[in-house]
C-alpha cells in the first residue's frame, strides 16, 4: 500500500512569509504527527492529530499550527517565518490506538528560510 506522502518536498521562503505543508497518511491510519528535524537536534515533536483533534502538542510557539481533515490528511502551517525555522519537517502516521505504536514517516518537506 502507498506510504506517507508529503508535499511539497522542497521549498524556499523568506523571513516573514508563511508556509503550509501537507501530509497524506497511510490508508487506514488515523493519527498524524509532525516533527521538526535539524542537524544535531534530532527530531522535535510539534503536534499529533487523531480524528481531526489535536491530541498532543510540543513546545513550539503559536506560529506553528496544524489541522487534520476528515480523511486523516493533515496540514501544518508556520506563520511569520524566521531563519531558525529552516529544517526538515517530517510527518508520520500510525494507527492511532490508545497505546503508542510504530510511526511511519514520510520523506519530509525541506524548508529553507532566507
Partner 1 sequence: GENVEQHPSTLSVQEGDSAVIKCTYSDSASNYFPWYKQELGKRPQLIIDIRSNVGEKKDQRIAVTLNKTAKHFSLHITETQPEDSAVYFCAASLNDYKLSFGAGTTVTVRA
What is the footprint of partner 1 within residues 35-94 (CB under 8 A)? 35, 40-45, 48, 50, 55-59, 90, 94
Q: How far is the CB of 26 from partner 1 (least distance, A)?
A: 13
Q: From CA 96, how far away is CA 48, in angstroms rounded?
A: 10
* Shortest distance (Å) from residue 11 CB to partner 1: 18
State the SS3 of the chain.
CCCCEEECCEEEECCCCCEEEEEECCCCCCEEEEEEEECCCEEEEEEEEECCEEEEECCCCCCEEEEECCCCCEEEEECCCCHHHCEEEEEEEECCCCCCCCCEECCCEEEEEC
Size of the site for partner 1 (CB under 8 A): 27
Task: Give least dist CB 6 to partner 1, A.
Answer: 9
Q: Assess 9 for contact with partner 1 (CB under 8 A).
A: no
Count other C-beta atoms under 10 Å from residue 55's C-beta. Answer: 13
Q: How far is the CB of 87 from partner 1 (least distance, A)?
A: 14
Interface positions with partner 1 (CB under 8 A): 31, 33, 35, 40-45, 48, 50, 55-59, 90, 94, 96, 99-100, 102-103, 105-108
Amino acid at each position: 500500500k502507498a506510504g506517507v506522502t508529503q508535499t511539497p518536498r522542497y521549498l524556499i521562503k523568506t523571513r516573514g512569509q508563511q508556509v503550509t505543508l501537507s501530509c497524506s497518511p497511510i490508508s487506514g491510519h488515523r493519527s498524524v504527527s509532525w516533527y521538526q528535524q535539524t542537524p544535531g537536534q534530532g527530531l522535535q515533536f510539534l503536534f499529533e492529530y487523531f480524528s481531526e483533534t489535536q491530541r498532543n502538542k510540543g513546545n513550539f510557539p503559536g506560529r506553528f499550527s496544524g489541522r487534520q481533515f476528515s480523511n486523516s490528511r493533515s496540514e501544518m502551517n508556520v506563520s511569520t517565518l524566521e531563519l531558525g525555522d529552516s529544517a526538515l519537517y517530517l510527518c508520520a502516521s500510525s494507527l492511532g490506538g490508545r497505546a503508542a505504536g510504530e510511526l511511519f514517516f514520510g520523506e519530509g518537506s525541506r524548508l529553507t528560510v532566507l
